[in-house]
A = this chain, B = another copy of it.
Amino acid sequence: MTAPTGAAAYLPILDWGRRYDRSTLVSDLVAAVIVTLMLIPQSLAYAQLAGLPAQAGLYASIAPLVLYALLGTSRVLAVGPVAVVSLMTASTVGGFAAQGTAPYAAIALTLAFLSGAMLLVMGLLRWGFLAHFLSHPVISGFITASALLIAAGQLKVLMGVKVEGAHFFELVGGLVRHASEVHVLTAALGVTMVAFLFWARRGLKPLLVRLGLPARGADLAAKAAPVVGIALSAALTWQLQWAQQGVKIVGTVPQGLPPLTLPLWDLALWKELALPALLISVVGFVESVSVGQTLAARRRQRIEPDRELVALGAGNLGAAFTGGFPVTGGFARSVVNFDAGAQTPAAGVFTAVGILAAALLLTPALYFVPQATLAATIVVAVLSLVDLSVFRHTWAYSKSDFSAAVATVLVTLGAGVEAGLIAGVGLSLAMFVYRTSRPHIAEVGLVAGTEHFRNVQRHTVQTDEAVLGLRVDESLYFANARALEDRLNEEVARRPSLRHVVLQCSAINDIDASALESLDAIDARLRDAGITLHLSEVKGPVMDRLKGTELLQHLRGQVFLTHYQAVQALAGKDALAA
């Protein structure tokens, strides 16, 4: 596939729209029906998780889906409410208003507005690289901890218990303390639904295949199990009047088009929402891009991160103006869309039409849906996100990655999602900087039969008493410039017959102003001790900047192309001198 050019590069619909035909239409329509069936309960559930009324979940799955379909570069990504972003929304907005109130909903859509604006600006500035600062262990730890936090939060709904608290340990402690207050009927319903959903994931498809369905059809039918379970539980609740016995239900969901809403124009509020909005934007972007990339790679397509930012930004702005809350590209819905055979973003538009129809016609049918069964769908969905393998892998490979992952998990569980994310990113950057501040410095010698120089402590190499070759395994900058000075002072003190020091610069990718001063000082000190400083294998970009500095003007030694040439020339000189 060649990359589209011109206007099509910015409006992908001009590219795929031209080649749209009947068979593509059928594929897209089939996918849209299946995704719609899946999204109706999911939208209600994530609205509940975000602390918003059920209809907000439906609204957040309409305009954002259409806007992404117009602007996004993934052909199958489905944008809407997702678990982690809904949790982050609840955690942020909960600090300003009580769940279920009008101000709460207004602040939630203001958050979507700010997040959308930030994503848009980041996209226009081509700042997609910001997402790279979330390392794999941090993302992995964050998703796992968020999933545990979400599951713990939904357990109280599933059990019909009232528990105060927002952090994992508070929630779990509260559940244990209030265990005697469990509402038995609610809990029975919730636990049954959890069991059914787990069974549907594993056992339903083989059963349907045995009953004669083709494998693909059985697979898709199994994906619709949550809808069936919720419909069944709603029917039972209605017929057996469980609501009168204390089972909490979704209740009245207004019927109609998504409303036109405006975010709050309150600069003081914006200032307080800025950091959470940024974190939601980055997390949403990372989740969306990784889903998009995974699915695009399977069909050898590509997505463009900077344009994804713009599309997700537009999606969130869409959510803000139509009664929604922060959204992003979701994993489960996108995979289902892909598996169901969606070919173009038109499938997303058809899905949006499906959800719109549900908002217009289906909401009375949602009245008796028990909150506990929605909680059950959330618990089952998020538990599949828990992945502890990152701890095993990083423990074996890198203790600093391991500690970043552990810190992210513990801080997220104990102090919330924002603090957890900041702790993880901050710690991984701090450890990177710390490592680079203590560089590995190796004395090198010639590997016999080659022109290659390696660490004298690891290889059998030839060295020369008068010529010391040192390789600094790090760019030289302010935090590590002293380390080289200290090491050279030591080496000079230890070696009375030393005449030349050659710094092999093959691993020095940059020399900042502080390190340049240090090199000047090193050169001066070595000269005082009757030793000449040389450089070898200085890289092009580094050499470009060194030209014209006082260091090169004052340097008595030379800059050699290769370390081998340096050692040959200097050993030769010494032989002449001797």
Interface residues of A (CB under 8 A from B): 129, 132-138, 393-394, 396-398, 400-401, 428-429, 432-433, 435-440, 442, 447, 450-452, 454-455, 457-458, 473-475, 477-482, 506-510, 512-514, 516-517, 537, 539-541, 545, 548-549, 561-562, 564-565
Contact = CB atoms under 8 A, between A and B. Distances in A.
Contacts of A398: 512-513, 545
A130 B475 CA distance: 18
A514 B452 contact: no
A323 to B, nearest CB: 36
Contacts of A396: 548
Given A132-B481, A452-B451, A481-B132, A137 B432 contact: no
A537 B477 CA distance: 24
Listed from nearest, the 7 A-B pairs whose CB atoms lie closest are: A135-B478, A401-B513, A451-B451, A136-B514, A473-B509, A452-B562, A506-B506
A482 B138 CA distance: 16
B447 A561 contact: yes
Given A473-B539, A478-B428, A509-B473, A129 B394 contact: no
A507 B474 CA distance: 8
Nearest to A302: B489
A50 B96 CA distance: 41
A175 B506 CA distance: 55
Nearest to A481: B132
Contacts of A512: 135, 398, 400-401, 432
Oligomer: number of copies: 2
Nearest to A435: B510
Contacts of A428: 478
A560 to B, nearest CB: 10
A549 B514 CA distance: 37
Nearest to A539: B473
9 contacts: A129-B437, A129-B438, A132-B481, A133-B437, A135-B478, A396-B548, A440-B509, A506-B507, A507-B508
A135 B433 contact: no
A541 B435 CA distance: 13
Nearest to A477: B432
Nearest to A397: B513
Contacts of A429: 429, 433
B513 A549 contact: no
Contacts of A136: 478, 513-514, 517
Nearest to A486: B305
A133 to B, nearest CB: 6
Q: Could you say which of A135, A439, A513, A514 has the most chain B C-beta atoms within 10 Å of its C-beta?
A: A513
A202 B307 CA distance: 64
A510 B400 CA distance: 12
B135 A440 contact: no
A548 B398 CA distance: 12
Nearest to A425: B478
A401 B514 contact: yes
A442 B564 CA distance: 21
B513 A450 contact: no
B452 A132 contact: no
Contacts of A509: 439-440, 473-474, 507
A380 B122 CA distance: 48
Contacts of A451: 450-452, 564
Contact of A135 (B455, B514, B537, B539): B514
Nearest to A451: B451
Contact of A540 (B394, B455, B516): B455
A452 B564 contact: yes
A381 to B, nearest CB: 25
A401 B477 CA distance: 10
A132 B439 CA distance: 13
Given A451-B452, A506-B506, A564-B452, A513 B437 contact: no
A546 to B, nearest CB: 9
Nearest to A431: B512
A490 to B, nearest CB: 11
Q: Could you say which of A132, A428, A508 has the most chain B C-beta atoms within 10 Å of its C-beta?
A: A132
Given A394-B513, A397-B513, A506-B506, A478 B132 contact: yes
Given A132-B482, A136-B514, A473-B541, 12 more contacts: A132-B437, A135-B479, A135-B514, A137-B514, A393-B513, A398-B512, A432-B436, A447-B561, A473-B509, A474-B509, A506-B506, A506-B507
A136 B458 CA distance: 35
Q: Could you say which of A136, A438, A516 has the most chain B C-beta atoms within 10 Å of its C-beta?
A: A136
Contacts of A133: 433, 437, 478-479
